[in-house]
Amino acid sequence: MKIVQVSTNSLPVPPIDYGGTQRDVYYLTEELVNRGHEVILFAKKGSNTRATKTFEYPSDSKEEQLEFIIKNTPSDVDIIHDHYGIVAKSNPPIPTIRNSHSKSAAGSQIPVFVSKKIRDINKKGYYVHNGIRLSDYPYKKKKKGYLLFIGRMMSGKGVHLAVEVAQKTGKELIIAGTFNNNPKYVEYFNEQIKPHLNDKIRFIGPVGGAQKMKLLSEASCVLFTSTWNEPFGLVLIEALACGTPVLAFKAGAIPEVLHGLPQLLCNNVNEMSRKVKSGKSYPSPKTCRLYVKKYYSDKVMTDNFLKLYKKVIKKKKYKVTKNSTWNKRKAIIDKELNR
């Protein structure tokens, strides 16, 4: 197949540290090329993949980016996979899916969500779970004694609840994460987290790359204390890939992601604290790793997207309006080129 992948303009593909969407685009692009498909990638400057052809956005203007995509997309493309959101809304004359890494995909005929839970909330579209490349995640059998929290410093992520678990169990807790330049996150941190920091409960700021992998692979357990409607929870599978168990609340799609390891799910702080103290709920490092390989590897994700591509193309449910934004702009571009 000839497939167009449309990434965002916020980070290159692959991203250096953070960037879940861009990493998904990278894994998918690499695996599609491995299987003999032709991939055309639109991405931020500095992207480096094995895509058949890469077009780097010429500016930060979404209007100019869309025009650039329209101008450089061949007419014989089989499907467009939009991870950005700017293409699907323009209604191209090519089957197009809109991959939503959040909780909505407004303006898309065929939205694809990262979990069944979020797909069901939206009552339309499809879902394909996230996947990661296991070779990127170091596997360690021997763990150190600390608990780990990785995530944004926001109330919905339940950082204060991770602190409470550490206090109840007497375990060391390392907190890593970002404020995303959000004053509310800073206020939350200063009021509910900072007063509890000490020698055993430490905040180390944002982490990525080798530092993040070391923390994930050596933790005795990762605490995923999110209480909001999580679309997926990438840290869940990242930790498991490192052979590290994750204790998590039953929020959003978390029970779906951990469907095969229900012993890791907790109803409240007290239950999570009991499981941390006993350690009996922890699957072995090998079991954790194999779980990700079976359900959440880049290969599994690519399998599922290829099935979806074929389904969308075959069913011909994608409808194109004659006066779509794409067609109007394409006509203007063609007219200018033929002058």
Task: Annotate 267-302 with DSSP letters as a single string.
Answer: SSHHHHHHHHHH-TTPPPHHHHHHHHHHHSBHHHHH
CA distance 68 to 57: 7
pLDDT band at 81; cut points 50, 70, 90: very high
Asked whether the predicted pLDDT for residue 179 surpasses 80, the reply is yes
Asked whether the predicted pLDDT for residue 107 surpasses 80, the reply is no
Asked whether the predicted pLDDT for residue 176 surpasses 80, the reply is yes
CA distance 178 to 169: 25
Helices 325-337 and 62-72, packing angle to 10 deg: 70
Q: Which of 82, 105, 95, 131 is nearest to 303 (CA)?
A: 131
CATH 3.20.20.70 fits 2-132+298-337, yes or no: no
CATH 3.40.50.2000 fits 134-295, yes or no: yes
pTM, entire model? 0.93
pLDDT in tens, 243-296: 999 999 999 999 999 999 999 999 999 999 999 999 998 999 999 999 999 999
Mean pLDDT to the nearest integer, 324-331: 92
Asked whether the predicted pLDDT for residue 233 surpasses 70, the reply is yes
Q: Which of 111, 74, 103, 54 is nearest to 308 (CA)?
A: 111
pLDDT of residue 108: 82
Asked whether the predicted pLDDT for residue 321 surpasses 90, the reply is no
Asked whether the predicted pLDDT for residue 317 surpasses 90, the reply is no
Asked whether the predicted pLDDT for residue 106 surpasses 80, the reply is no
List every span in the chain annotated with CATH 3.40.50.2000.
2-132+298-337, 134-295
pLDDT band at 128; cut points 50, 70, 90: very high
CA distance 331 to 335: 6
